[in-house]
Amino acid sequence: MDEEIYDLCIVGAGMFGSAAARHASANAALKVCLIGLDEPKPEERQQREIFSSHYDEGRITRILDDDPVCQILSKHSIRRYQELEELSGIHFHYPVGFLYVGPRNSSIMNKMVQVAATCDVPIVDLHREKIFQMRYPFLKLQENEYALLDDSGAGHISPRKMVAAQRKVAKLQGCRIIHEVVEEVEELKNGVHEILTENGNRVQAKRVLFCTGAYTNFKKFAVLGKLDIRVRKETVAFLKISTLEVKRISSMPSIVYLRDKEKNREALGAYILPPVQYPDGNYYLKIGHIGGGDWEVKSLPEIKQWYLSKGDERVIDVYSKLLIEMLPGLEVEDISGMTCVTCDSPSGLPYIDRVTPTVTVAVVGNGKGAKFSDEVGRIAAHLSVTGKWDSELMQSQFKAIFAEN
């Protein structure tokens, strides 16, 4: 047993947890520990039970969003990216811009304009086809579509590198990082919680912050209880392209693309990342689906099986064709897929809640968590330690909803 008693133990070392560890450990008076595994090596994947969606090089980041709450969370997070890069020496943010593309005169596009104005998000309306083509000559939209541009730090981040940056700074600030899986968190006894790891080690802490994502309901976390979380399978397609193609489309931004559902039921919507270099040295375009499908997973074995699979071949086929259609003349060297899972809440917002004086939770990204993870981690860390809500957003919007028995 670790004889040291921590002021705060953060369970889960992904995007929310690593951010919370950095913000909590900035207070030198606090003893903070973070428990969570590193990314598995290829030969370790078969034996691994816990995976994470941040094992990737590309996530869209943007302020422009159909939910004003998400806009505010994102705005604060994006403003701190540069500080985190400087503190860690790790570059993870690529502000190449973001396009929101949809049908002209549609309710969703009108709503985006209104929400952006309400939250003072500067956007550029690219409804004039000539202006759009001058800026993005390699992109082709349908006749009834137009784009809104968010160029205020929007673009993409490497979630893998961002987590590494958060952990590095947290460690430099004195946070202890334990590379294990938490199996159980026991009720408070004599003023402390005992946290039991997969390897049989025990950690003691006065407060616990759960940042356990898709695995929140699948471990022995009786102190927290079961939350209303829907865990969904996701498949993304990767289109490998040459360095010559990368140069040709070098000004490509990140994109969210919504098609007219009545005209094309196959493609409800997609998120698209520009060419990103992956650890194998190659460049890939990435596209994933938005909306549609009923791909819920309800157990640990199901999650593991999904992460070890090649994904939904139909999704890979449909969405790779959509991307090729948007980029006429694109020379694709190879098409592949990758799997992950996302978590949804009924509210469409993260849960950031102090459920008891010593237990706090920060989980659920609703497919958007990467971009605003730093702000979620900051709010959760402050709430865990002080019991106070430190945000202009209403605390009630983030209250945890528990599953019905």
Average pLDDT over residues 87-106: 96
Q: What is the mean pLDDT of the chain?
A: 93
Residue 364 has pLDDT above 50, yes or no: yes
- How far is the C-alpha of 11 from the C-alpha of 221, rounded, in Å? 11
Asked whether 1 and 201 are in contact (CB, 8 A), the reply is: yes
> CATH 3.50.50.60: which residues of the chain?
5-55+159-228+346-397
Which residues lie below 8 Å from residue 164, measured CB to CB, with a gap of 6+? 88, 90, 92
State how beta strands 296-297 and 182-185 pair.
Answer: unpaired
The pLDDT-based confidence of 293 (bands split at 50, 70, 90) is: low
Q: Is 213 left (phi over 0), alpha (psi -120 to 50) or beta?
A: left
At residue 1 the predicted structure's pLDDT band, cuts being 50, 70 and 90, is low
Lowest mean pLDDT among 92-101, 200-209, 259-268: 259-268
**pLDDT tens column, 307-353:** 999 999 999 999 999 999 999 999 999 999 999 999 999 999 999 99
* Structural domain 98-150+230-344, CATH architecture: 2-Layer Sandwich (3.30)
Give this prediction's pTM.
0.95
Which one, of 84, 60, 67, 58, lies nearest residue 121 by Cα? 67
Classified as helix, coil or strand, 26 is: coil
Closest CA to 65 of 53, 78, 54: 78
5-55+159-228+346-397: CATH topology is FAD/NAD(P)-binding domain (3.50.50)
- Give pLDDT, residue 127: 85
Helix H or strand E encompassing 117: helix 107-118
Who contacts 214 (Cβ-Cβ below 8 Å, separation ≥6)? Answer: 53, 229, 231, 303, 341, 342, 343
pLDDT tens track for 40-94? 888 888 887 888 888 899 999 999 998 999 999 999 999 999 999 999 999 999 9
Q: How far apart are CA 17 and CA 400, in angstroms?
A: 17
> Which of 208, 194, 211 minimizes the C-alpha distance to 356?
208
Cβ pair 272, 255 in contact under 8 A: yes
DSSP string, 160-228: HHHHHHHHHHHHHTT-EEE-S-EEEEPPPBTTBEEEEETTS-EEEES-EEE--GGGTTSSB-TTT--B-
Gap between the Cα atoms of 379 and 364, Å rounded: 14
- Amino acid code (one letter) for 2: D
- Strand pairing category for 155-157 and 93-94: antiparallel
Sheet with 208-210, strands from edge to edge, namely: 176-178, 32-35, 8-11, 208-210, 359-363, 351-356
Using CA atoms, how far residue 116 sits from 31, 97, 111, 256, in Å, is: 40, 15, 8, 15
d(CA 9, CA 197): 12
Q: Residue 387 has which token pair?
A: 């019991």
Alpha-carbon torsion (203, 208, 213, 219), positive or negative: positive
Q: What does the angle CA 269 – CA 273 – CA 275 come to, to the nearest 5 degrees? A: 145
All CATH 3.30.9.10 domain ranges in the chain, comma separated? 98-150+230-344
Identify how many contiguous H helices and E strands the chain contains and give both numbers: 9, 22
